[in-house]
Amino acid sequence: MSKIAFDIGSTVTRVVVGGEVLFQQPTCLALERESGAMMAIGSQAYSLLGKTARQLEIHFPVLAGVVADTTNLSLYLTKVFKQLPTATSMSLASLLLGRQVVVAYSPCSTSTQKARLALVFRQLGMRTQLVLRPEAVVAYLAKKQPIQSSCLVDIGGSATVCSIVTNGIHVQSHCIPWGGIQLTERVQQYLLREEQLAVGWHEAERLKCALAAVFSLQTLAKYRDHKGVVRGQDTLTHVGKTLVITREQLATVVQPQIEELLAGVTEFLALLPREMVTSILESGVTLVGGGSQLSGLADLLQEKLACKVAVSEQPDIVCVRGLL
């Protein structure tokens, strides 16, 4: 039976079997408040965020890339396995020995958090191999071309991890509490503060994905008139309201957050030996993770770091593909 690869992030869980992505949905579940019964997981549960009745709660069992709630993660994964095709989830070997899974884990995990992740899969009857995320990413990238040393910036939903991998072995990492979730929250806060418009999470996320970008002054002048529509509730009149928001307005929200990210990456590079930094400047930095796809981010980092910065191929699934 093919191994099953898991990349369980703060926002999205991805499962690959035999090179095919069989599951790619939010890492969340909806539970009934009183009984604790699971009502939905993944996309169905995520769609209820901000819209749930009082008897339902939405739980995210992984925070900043590490396990925060083993009980709910176990419930979530049990349901995920049931959604996989029967051929991948049942065989004689799996019945006798347990399914074989390869699971990515964050280099920011403590030994306790790593053990907690392994325990969840073991309690589900799995034979588990844990692999560091940066090593999985480089394993996939190395299939395309030989790589001796890599500097990775992995931008996730609630954390960014800068890592050095040499000859396929993880050397050093630095964790920054910054990700796509924070950007969405800032969009909500901006609309509430500046426009007196209360918007739900999904509306703020949609607007961020449509208009948020990182620009130099020259580039912003070219794209500043790009517009989008956002709908919410006027906090003064308490009635529905629709606003037109420009890309320039969102740039004022995004830019301070990008400065935080840049400061974190710069701090990481400052901690490295001089020879290693020289090697990075020559080979460049690779961006991975869903947040790496923010428009203009790679160009800005390249300008500020004075080295080549590129977004990897399939940045959101490069890790899970590298596990197999």
Taking residue 161's Cβ as centre, other Cβ atoms within 10 Å add up to 26
Nearest C-alpha neighbor of 86 from the set 76, 95, 74: 95
Domain assignment present for residue 81? The answer is yes
Domain assignment present for residue 215? The answer is no
Domain assignment present for residue 312? The answer is no
Please provide the distance, in angstroms rounded to a whole number, between the alpha carbons at the two ends of the chain.
Answer: 13
Q: What is the mean pLDDT of residues 284-312?
A: 92
Domain assignment present for residue 323? The answer is no
The confidence score (pLDDT) of residue 94 equals: 54
The confidence score (pLDDT) of residue 49 equals: 87
The model's pLDDT over 76-125, given as tens digits with 9 standing for 90+, comes to 999 999 988 754 555 544 544 578 899 999 999 999 999 999 999 999 99
Q: What is the CATH number of the domain that holds 78?
A: 3.30.420.40
Q: What is the mean pLDDT of residues 263-280?
A: 91
Q: pTM score, two decimals? A: 0.91
Task: Find all residues with CB under 8 Å of 59, minimum gap 6, and list them.
Answer: 28, 29, 30, 31, 69, 72
Structure tokens at 195: 């426009």
Higher per-residue confidence, 53 vs 197: 197
Counted domains in the chain: 1
Q: What is the mean pLDDT of residues 237-245?
A: 94
Domain assignment present for residue 24? The answer is yes
Most confident of 15-19, 89-93, 105-109, 246-250: 105-109
Domain assignment present for residue 89? The answer is yes
Q: Which domain holds residue 35?
A: 4-136
Structure tokens at 248: 């320039």
DSSP output for 218-267: HHHHHHTT-EEEEEEEETTT-SEEEEEEEHHHHHHHHHHHHHHHHHHHHH
Contact 126, 99 (CB under 8 A): yes
- Residue 283 clears pLDDT 90, i.e. is over it: no
Domain assignment present for residue 227? The answer is no
- Residue 323 clears pLDDT 90, i.e. is over it: yes
58: helix, strand or coil: strand
The confidence score (pLDDT) of residue 95 equals: 43
Q: What is the mean pLDDT of residues 29-34?
A: 92
- Residue 219 clears pLDDT 50, i.e. is over it: yes
Domain assignment present for residue 147? The answer is no
Q: What is the mean pLDDT of residues 256-282?
A: 91
